[in-house]
Every structure is written in structure tokens, then in C-alpha cells.
Amino acid sequence: MSKETAKQLIFEMSQPGRISYSLPASDVPETEGLPAQFMREVPAELPEVAELDLMRHYTELSRRNHGIDNGFYPLGSCTMKYNPKINEDVARYPGFSKIHPYQAEETAQGALQLLFELQQDLSEITGMDDVTVQSAAGAQGEWTGLMMIRAYHEGRGDLMRNKVIVPDSAHGTNPASATVAGFETITIPSNEKGLVDVEALKEVLGNDTAALMMTNPNTLGLFEEEIKLIADLVHEAGGLLYYDGANANAILGYARPGDMGFDVVHLNLHKTFTTPHGGGGPGAGPVGVKKDLMPYLPKPMVRQREDGSYFFDHDMPQSIGRIKGYYGNFGILVRAYTYIRTMGPDGLKQVSEYAVLNANYMMHRLAPYFDVPFTQNCKHEFVLSGNRQKKQGVRTLDMAKRLLDFGYHPPTIYFPLIVDECLMIEPTETESKETLDKFIDAMIQIAREAEETPEIVQEAPHHTIVRRLDEVTAARKPVLRYSKS
């Protein structure tokens, strides 16, 4: 990307009379059309462009965008790993992309088989008894899981459980999903090791506890070593344990949430299972449950008959109901399935092995230059604090912006909230040592700049197509659409 003038909006390129479509003329006899009162008085002011100009417009926009294929993307807790191309090819097969959700089940047996096998594979990988693949994203998975937890307690006549406990290191979606599911959130602090403070947990557990939501490894990249004790405490109090699978890339084949005592699990297929993030979506957030919660799974589930054929089971009287249109983001599920078949059990285990090795390697190499708030082995990601640089007048935001000049997407910053000037780095397993080394070199250079020439960092980025943008005015005087005037 180079410095250029502001890009025109496609609306600003519009010239009356230009088109990029070709529709057949109507071949049917004229019939009486729609009554005038239903007809639009003013046409929608959509752009009028010719096909080449359209392609140049979007190609130019793509050049102003950084994806994994462009360069390293160590965005913590987002698992920005390689998105395999074969998955893209497969998802576009007409037998997957041009099939209708309401066509007869006997004409969609391949799709049903894929969904069924994916339910099974994800159950095995997470150590759960069953998995729904309907949910479209992690946050939707959380809400789905919490709705099942609610139904479970209600099903037992246990109507007082209105509290969901989340650690202060949790993703923002955890408390937000709890609210949408009708719960109140209680936040508990982490201890000095960055883990759930068991004493603080004991204090809030009670007969109003519906669930504890945890990410393990947590958002600091640390494994919750006392997970078994925590699970026992929550269960003794009558609550359930929810696993946020955002960080599942650390433990494939090494540990399973089901074996840790979790009752409900969601996975982010767009993180651990290589489906592309698409610039913000679509994703998929399958939810696994233990046996006691199976009756509450959203409908429909895919089941197999004795004759080997597959069907959608809608006969689920205790189900929480439907949570998304049709059967989830099927096209994304096809990609994840393709990935699992590519890797197999050995491959998936190696994924976590190398994800963890890469993260620890980076942490050790960067430790001399940045504050490392937690020094035990990390898992697939780790956090640094920019406190040392802050004293030199350089904030974490500045360092993140400086990384843009080196062609990198910066790590996640200012999250988790419990680490000052936080940088959260997740390299993933698909990056080579050379890539990690180059990034480390850039980080070291930035640390040196912070010491010697802080203004270079403070004024970054220097080489992007736009410089820092005025977000305050954007929120105060919102311009959310183009208008001609």
C-alpha cells in the first residue's frame, strides 16, 4: 500500500446510463402488474457504473486492506491462521453452494452427512456428548449455551439461578450474552498469576449461580491449572460450567473441555478451524453439551436412521427453540469439515503443539525488551505490557500504529482489560520461524525507537494510505452513509 489520495466512493463514480449487468428481456406475455400504490415513486439512488470501473473500484479497495495472505496478523485471541484455499474451492462446489435449505432431505443427503459428521467430530474434539452447528458466531454460541443452561435449571424446577459469573479477563461478549439470555453478570478478579481467584469465586458461588463462563487457556494465554477444583466448586453449588472456545487452538488433542468438567462449550470455527474471518464474518460458533443438556439443544439436529440415511430432527419438545435461520452458516461448516479431514487427529495435535511453541518462543525473545506480566509458560498466545515504553512517552497504541509501517497487523491491544498498556500476541502455528523472527526484530526496533526517538513511534503510522483517523468526531457527528448533497 502506498500513499495516495482519498479513494472515490462508488457513488461518486456514477454516471447516468452506465450499467454492469445484462438481464434477458421478459419472455412472458404481459399480465396485469402491481397496483400503483405499491410502486416506488423515487428509484433507489444506486451507483451507475460499467463493469471494468466496478472491478477497478473493488480491486482498489482490496489493495487498501490487509488480510492474512498479505502478511503476519498476530491478533491475540483471534487466531488469524492461514485460510486454506482448498476449503474455498470445496465450499463453491454447486452441490454445496447451490442447494436450497428446503429441498427434500433425500436430495441433500451429502449435506446432511457432512453436518452429521461435523457434529460428531466436534463432539470428539471437545469431549462433549453432542454438538449443534446452527450458531453463526461465537457470541451467538454463548447466548445459545446460556439459554440451554437456563432451560436446564428451569427444567429441574430450580428457578432462582439468575447469576452468571465471569472472570475480569473475559471477552466482552460473555457478559453481553448473559444479559441477552436474561442473566445478571458477576465479575470476579484474577489472582496475581493471572488465573481465576478461587477464593473470590467461592465467595460469589451460591444457590443463585447459573453458570461460570471461562476461557481456558484464558485471554492472557494461561492455562487455568485449578480447573478441576473450579469445576467441582461450581457443580457443588449447583451451577454449570461454560467454556468459551476462543482459545481452543492451544489444546487440540492435549486436553478437552469435556474432560475438564465443562458442561457447555462453544468453538469458533473461524479461529481454530481455519474458516476465513471475511473482514468481520461470516463465522460459525458450534455449541457442545454434556448429556444432561442434550434435550435443550436448538432444533433441528441432524440424526442418522438405521438404514444409514440422515434427517433433520425437529421432534425435540424440550429444545430452547430455533436460534438461526435454516441450519447455520453451512458454507462455513463445509470449510471447517474440509480442514478437519485435511489434518486428522495427528495434524490437529501438531497444530496446538506448534501454536504453543511459537508463542513461547516469541515471548522469550521479546522478554528483554518489554514487561512480561506473567512469566509461566504461555499457551497459544501471551501478553506484554507497554508500561516501560509508556514511561518513555510512547503508548501501546503508538507501538501498534508503528507496526503498520513494517507491514504487520498489530497484536490485540488494551485487552484483556486487567493488564496496563496490554499487547496480546497470538502467532498461530501456520507462521514460519523466519516470519516470527522478522516481527520480533521489528518489535525490538520499536522498543529502541521508544527509547531514542519516541516521536517516530508517537507519530506513526508514516507509510499507510491514511494516517490516524479522527474517531472522536466520527462518533460525535456521525456520517454513516453517502448522500448526494
Partner 1 sequence: MTFRYLPMTEQDRKEMLETIGVQTTEELFAEIPENVRFHGELAIPQALPEPLLVKHMQRLSGKNANLDQYTSFLGAGVYEHYVPSVVGHVISRSEFYTAYTPYQPEISQGELQAIFEFQSMICELTGMDVANSSMYDGPTALAEAAALAFSHTKKKKVFVSRAVHPEAREILLTNAKGLGYEVVEIPLQDGVTNLARLEEMADEDTAAVIVQYPNFLGNLEDLGQIEQIAHKHKGLLVVSSNPLSLGILQPPGAFKADIVVGDAQPLGILPQFGGPHCGYFATTKALMRRLPGRIVGQTVDEDGKRGFVLTLQAREQHIRRDKATSNICSNQALMALAASVYMSALGKQGMQDIALLNVKKAHFAKQRLSQVSGFEIAHEQPFFNEFVIRVNGSVEEVNRKLLKQGIIGGYDLGKAYSEYQNHMLVAVTELRTQEEIEQLAVALEGLL
In angstroms, give the least distance from the CB of 371 to partner 1: 19
SS3 313: strand
Nearer to partner 1, 57 or 451 (CB): 57
Helix (H) or strand (E) holding 385: strand 382-385
Q: Does 96 bind partner 1 (CB under 8 A)?
A: yes
287-289 β-sheet, strand order: 130-132, 287-289, 264-267, 240-245, 209-215, 163-167, 184-188
| List 56, 72, 95, 389, residue binding partner 1 (CB under 8 A) | 95
Question: Segment 10-29, which members bind partner 1 (CB under 8 A)?
Answer: 10-11, 14, 18-21, 23-24, 26-29
Residue 9 or 292 having the CB closest to partner 1: 9
In the numeric block, which cell numbers belong to residue 454? 519516541
User: And the C-alpha cell for 273?
Assistant: 478451524
Q: Residue 366: enclosing H or E segment and its boundaries?
A: helix 330-366
Find the shortest distance in angstroms from Cβ 3 to partner 1: 10
Select 18 or 235, whichever has its Cβ closest to partner 1: 18
Interacting stretch for partner 1, rule CB under 8 A, among 88-96, 200-208, 386-394, 447-455?
A: 88-96
Residues 184-223 that bind partner 1 (CB under 8 A): 184-185, 222-223
SS3 205: coil
Q: Are 208 and 238 in contact (CB under 8 A)?
A: no
- Contact string 372-411 vs partner 1 (x = CB under 8 A): ----xx-x--------------------xx--x----xx-
Question: What is the smallest separation between the CB atom of 447 and partner 1, expressed in angstroms?
Answer: 18
- Determine the size of the site formed for partner 1 (CB under 8 A): 203
**Residues 239-278, mask of contacts with partner 1 (x by CB under 8 A):** ------------xxxxxx--xxx------------x-xxx
**Which is nearer to partner 1, 173 or 396 (by Cβ)?**
173
Report the nearest approach of partner 1 to the CB of residue 292 (Å). 20
Question: Between residues 236 and 452, which has the closer beta carbon with respect to partner 1?
Answer: 236
Residue 123 C-beta: closest distance to partner 1, Å? 10
Q: Which is nearer to partner 1, 349 or 388 (CB)?
A: 349
Q: Which of 136, 121, 178 is nearest to 285 (CA)?
A: 136
CB of 199 to partner 1, least distance (A): 19
- With b for 16 or more beta-carbon neighbours within 10 A and e for fewer, the 140-176 pattern comes to bbbbbbbbbbbbbbeeeeeeebebbbbbebbbebbbe
Closer by beta carbon to partner 1, 453 or else 473: 473
Task: Annotate each residue in 310-349 with x if it binds partner 1 (CB under 8 A) or - if it does not, as one string.
Answer: ----------xxxxxxxxxxxxx-----x-xxxxxxxxxx
How far apart are CB 290 and partner 1 at their closest, in Å?
Answer: 15
CA-CA distance, 359 to 352, in Å (whole number)? 11
How near is the Cβ of 165 to partner 1 at its closest, in Å? 12
Query: Counting every residue, how long is the chain?
Result: 485
Q: Give 333: exposed, middle or buried? Use CB within 10 Å, 0-12, 13-18, 19+.
A: buried
Residue number with CB closer to partner 1 (349 or 438): 349
DSSP label at residue 12: G
- Choose among 256, 470, 220: nearest CA to 348: 256
Q: Which of 217, 254, 223, 216 is nearest to 346 (CA)?
A: 254
Query: Which of 124-132, 202-210, 236-244, 385-393 is the region at the interface with partner 1 (rule: CB under 8 A)?
Result: 124-132
Kindly identify the residues of this chain, within the stretch 149-188, that bind partner 1 according to CB under 8 A.
150, 171-173, 175-182, 184-185
Helix axes 396-405, 433-452, angle to 10 degrees: 120
Least separation, in Å, of the C-beta of 306 and partner 1?
A: 19
Task: Give the nearer residue to partner 1 in terms of CB position, either 451 or 461.
Answer: 461
**Which amino acid belongs to residue 60?**
E
Which residue type occupies 268? N
The smaller minimum CB distance to partner 1, of residues 346 and 391, is found at 346
Question: Residue 388 Cβ, how far from partner 1 at the closest point, in Å?
Answer: 21
Considering only residues 72, 116, 119, 138, which one is a binding residue for partner 1 as defined by CB under 8 A?
A: 138
Under DSSP, is residue 165 helix (H, G, I), strand (E, B) or coil? strand
Which of helix, strand or coil describes residue 310? strand
- Of 219 and 452, nearer to partner 1 (C-beta) is 219
Q: Which of residues 421-480 bind partner 1 (CB under 8 A)?
A: 429-433, 461, 464-471, 473-475, 478-480
Which of 74, 239, 245, 283 forms a contact with partner 1 (CB under 8 A)? 283
Going by C-alpha positions, the residue among 364, 329, 383 that lies closest to residue 77 is 383
Give the span between the Cα atoms of 407 and 392, in whole angstroms: 24
Q: For partner 1, what does the binding mask look like between residues 29 and 68, x meaning CB under 8 A?
A: xxxxxxx-xxxxx-xxxxxxx-x--xx-xxxxxxxxxxxx
Q: How many whole angstroms separate alpha carbon 249 and alpha carbon 247? A: 5
Q: Which residues contact 373 (CB under 8 A, 6 or more apart)?
A: 194, 220, 383, 384, 385, 419
CB of 378 to partner 1, least distance (A): 8
